[in-house]
Structures are given as structure tokens and as C-alpha cells.
Amino acid sequence: RRAVNGELALYQVTAISEAPGKALDATRLRDLLDPPRLPRPRSYRGNGELDVRRIAEWVARRPENERNHGLFWGACKLAERGVAQAEASDVLTRAAMTAGLGEREAARTVRSAYRTVNDGHVSSGIAAVGTDEFAVSAADSRAAIVRGLP
């Protein structure tokens, strides 16, 4: 079935070739039907500064019904900006634990976010400067800026 002018229509055979059959290149057919995904464009167009601490503090303040989703979002943002997965995992896992998530669940969520952004490839990325400054308490609002990100 297919939609034509907003209505469903059945496919119909219009002609059958009399030419002899040929071998089908299954790989090329698969590429046609399911083309390889292009790299995701980076949506960040700032001046190269990223506030890792601010994202971590935001994650730490998520209420019970938003903790995992907030952590996933924050990890995706850091992955999109090229922060190394190990650095993001360390900071965001501590923040998520402050919000009430377990360490294993938080680490799995960060890994999942990095796989999603990087299409399954682990990226070493750029080390996040200032991640040691994230306190378990979100009360301290001083920002630690990461510089030099693409």
C-alpha cells in the first residue's frame, strides 16, 4: 500500500519485462532501501564554551519522575559537544546519584546517550576541564567553563 493524494492505494503490476533475468546485487539493494546514516551535524554554534558544571547541577536537581530523562538529555548534550565519555560519565553519574538514581543506572544511561549520539561508536572526545569542581550539592552555583570545544 502507498498513500496517493492522502488516500491509501494498492500497488498494481503495470508491465512484465520479457528480458532475461539478471543477478541482483543484494548489498547495493540494501544500501538503496536502507541508506547509511550521515554523521549528525553539530548543533552547537557557540563560542566554544560549555558549562559542564551547570548541566551536572541541573541533572542533580531533577525530580523523581524526570531524573533518567534529564540525565540522558545532559549526556547527549555533552556528547554532541565532544566531551569525552569517561569525563561526562564521572560528572553526570555523581549528579544523578545526588538526584536519587543508582550508580549503575546512571552509568548505563550515560553510555546509552553516547551510543545514541555517536551511532554506537565510543568517542574519546575532549577532556572536560573543571569536572572535579562539581560538588555533590547543587547549592554551589559557581560555573566551571570548559574551553576549546568545537
Q: What is the mean pLDDT of residues 28-54?
A: 68
Mean pLDDT for the chain?
76
State pTM to two decimals.
Answer: 0.52
Angle between helices 52-60 and 85-99 (to 10 degrees): 30
Q: pLDDT band at 103, cuts 50/70/90?
A: very high
DSSP H helices in the chain:
26-33, 52-60, 67-80, 85-99, 103-117
pLDDT attached to residue 142: 30
pLDDT attached to residue 55: 92
DSSP symbol at 146 = E
Identify whether the C-beta of residue 35 lies closer than 8 Å to the C-beta of residue 27. Answer: no
Instruction: Compute the residue count for the chain.
Output: 150
Q: pLDDT band at 12, cuts 50/70/90?
A: confident
The residues spanned by each domain of the chain are 50-146
Give me the amino acid identity at 75. A
**pLDDT tens across 45-87, in order?**
543 345 788 899 999 999 999 999 999 999 999 998 888 899 8
The distance from CA 11 to its chain's CA centroid, rounded to whole angstroms, is 38
CA atoms within 13 A on the CB side of 17: 4
pLDDT over 90 (residue 132): no
Q: What is the mean pLDDT of residues 93-113?
A: 95
Q: What is the mean pLDDT of residues 118-131?
A: 53
Residue 116 burial (10 A CB sphere; 0-12, 13-18, 19+)? middle
Cα gap 12→94, rounded to integer Å: 59
Q: pLDDT band at 97, cuts 50/70/90?
A: very high
pLDDT attached to residue 41: 59
